[in-house]
Structure 1
Amino acid sequence: MIISKMGKLKVDIDPKYSRYASEISAIPSKYDSLRVSKTFCNNRNCVSLIKVENFDWVLKRYMRPIFINSLIYTFIRPNKAIRAYRYAKRLLEMGIDTPYPVAYMATYRFGLFDIGYFISEYSSYRQLYETDSLSETDRKKLYRAFAEFTADLHRKRICHPDYNPGNILWGRTGDGEFKFMLVDINRLSFGKRSVRPYIKSLAEEHLPANLLEDYCAIMGYDLKMAESVIMQKRRHNARKMRLKELLGLKRKQE
């Protein structure tokens, strides 16, 4: 634990970058003056491409949690930043690609968790929906390779609950083979035995149209069963969204 002007700062840095500990540890206190090359997202969380020394790193700054979650992240379960860091290492050990983890940092106020930061190496891979540069033939090959990647992921009992095109990156090797990376991994689950959670993770409507059919063929699952699970999940998501909208309207009226 490091004491900084922002309060207490907890830092864990991958040994590969340990010589840059002072530069990394200074990021939370110098956040507003960082050398930002690009901002990928700035909603609840902010994801930016930053330059530190001669490195291009992706920095994710998680939104400050509500009080009850600060208590939870202090005393009960790891915060999102540390989970992202640990899960990245675990994925790489299991043979699943993800941008290499550099470090995580957590700031504390009054003894409670405040803000988390996760740093990874930058990858030039594209998001799954960025396929305009591919021919129709190559796009089909990409989607087939993606189905095989998904099957491999699930055989290793890794489930990504936010399995959407923005969280899946793709690239090509020198011989033209398609490769994939996972990002936004702090909510991953490992070791689930039931088939249903894995199939439910494919309910995102913007995934490739033939993914479920190809996936079931690879895994040996009944397609009609899988389609039923997907429809149930989508109905559940729709009800959840309507409830959020109603609660939002209610708050505005109050």
Structure 2
Amino acid sequence: MRVIVNPKYKKLKSFINELPQKFDTSGESIYKGRNEIKVFDCDGVKLNVKSFKIPHLINKVAYAWLRGSKAKHSYEYAIKMISLGADTPEPVACVETLKMGLFNRSYYVSIHHDYNFTIRDLIGFEFPDKDNILRQFAEYTYYKLHKNGIHHLDYSRGNILIKRLDNEKYQFSVVDINRMRFEKMPYLKGLKNFAQIWASDEELEVVAREYASLNEKDEDEAVRLLIQFDKEHKEKINRKLAIKKKFKK
């Protein structure tokens, strides 16, 4: 077993070391799909633990000896993001287990982040203060992520957490951060990042106009470009799904 613990939370080390034995039988599951996320209360600290699925054989070798696992990347990227001024739940630890010299399971532990809703809850729906939220989302993305050279490669609806503040203000935080790049984010690359939220043309227009304004670019051109980026992204995903469906027959 390989364990990295944030020095700030070294008092939780015994709990973290026991995670591989305790995860399946304790904690409150809040998401279960390819991976599973559970919430634990440990000495008064509310923790969010993500258990990644056991990888296929090639990655069992790669994660064990050649490159970092998804849990390790999540931990390291969270530390870097926070140091750059971006918002993501505070990292506590990562745990990697090996079996017969091959990578087995891994866990990413962070402080549980309270939020009111995600971008998924408003895209495609009637939602109070929706346009204002989308404009602030574009602003957050520009100032907190793109200007700091943070490129979230899975910038999808469910990975953007939103908390209501006073005076029609909102706080944004991103999760599922094991796929990131820290690189310069020129205007077009930044605009294209929004195509992953799978929004309507009307919703994309709100985001595009705000992002263009912040970048001092032409707003109408930004709307046209983002709608085109969105169309290309949707076509790409639908092609992948069609191929998977074909091979399942």
CA 1:143–1:243: 2 relative to 1, 3 Å: closer
1:200 partner letter: K
Equivalent residues in 2 for 1:150-229, closer than 5 Å: 150-152=141-143, 153-173=145-165, 177-204=169-196, 205-206=198-199, 208-209=203-204, 210-223=206-219, 224=221, 227-228=224-225
Residue 86, structure 1, aligned to residue 79, structure 2 = no
**2:178 & 2:240 partners in 1: Cα distance?**
25
Q: What is the aligned counterpart of 2:38 among 39, 42, 48? A: 48
The residue that corresponds to 1:62 in the other structure is: 52
CA offsets 1:200-233 (integer angstroms, 9 cap, x no match): 2110323843111211111123442663365246
Which deviates more from structure 2 when the two are superposed, residues 50-59 or residues 190-199? 190-199
Q: What is the aligned counterpart of 2:14 among 16, 22, 41? A: 22
Contact in 1 for aligned 2:194/2:226 (Cα 8 Å): no
Contact in 2 for aligned 1:164/1:206 (Cα 8 Å): no
Residue 238, structure 1, aligned to residue 229, structure 2 = no
The residue that corresponds to 2:66 in the other structure is: 76
Deviation at 1:247, TM superposition (A): 3.7
Contact in 1 for aligned 2:118/2:158 (Cα 8 Å): yes
CA 1:116–1:176: 2 relative to 1, 3 Å: same
**2:120 & 2:241 partners in 1: Cα distance?**
27
Gaps of 5+ in 1: 1-8
* TM-score, with length taken from structure 1: 0.84
Q: What is the aligned counterpart of 1:145 among 132, 136, 146? A: 136
Which deviates more from structure 2 when the two are superposed, residues 204-213 or residues 181-190? 204-213
The residue that corresponds to 2:119 in the other structure is: 128
CA RMSD of aligned residues (A): 2.5
Gaps of 5+ in 2: none
Contact in 2 for aligned 1:88/1:100 (Cα 8 Å): yes
**1:198 & 1:52 partners in 2: Cα distance?**
39
* TM-score, with length taken from structure 2: 0.85
Whose helix fraction is larger, Structure 1's or Structure 2's?
2
